[in-house]
Amino acid sequence: MAAASGVTIQYIAKAHIRKEAVVADVISKRGDYPGLVHVISVMEACSSYSAWHDKRTHQTTLRPTSGKCLHYYFYIIDAELGLMYVRVPTWCPFRLQIYCNRT
């Protein structure tokens, strides 16, 4: 999707860099027409599961846990909703977050 739109995926390794500032810079260069604007990948906290074996009952189950995983932020300009993003984690459970702030 990014390659088809001529957009590169930018990895941001530092927490102090604001994604909104990066996207604003891209929009100032590309223009504010609708479509895919930018894709950012970052390591962030996420919920996940780990296997756990109960030696007493001999049952293996999944337990909730937390960790860090790679997330992709797809920044899009919609003709009606304006700038929005879809946050996609790369670990299960894949909880998508969609953010739009129509003003």
- Tokens 């997330």: give the residue: 71
Per-residue DSSP letters for 66-81? EEEEEEEEEEEEETTT
Average pLDDT over residues 75-99: 91
The predicted-structure confidence for 15-55, as pLDDT tens digits, reads as follows 899 999 999 999 999 999 999 999 999 999 888 888 999 99
Give the dihedral of Cα atoms 1, 82, 38, 94; nearest 10 deg: -60
Please say whether the beta carbons of 35 and 76 come within 8 A.
Answer: yes
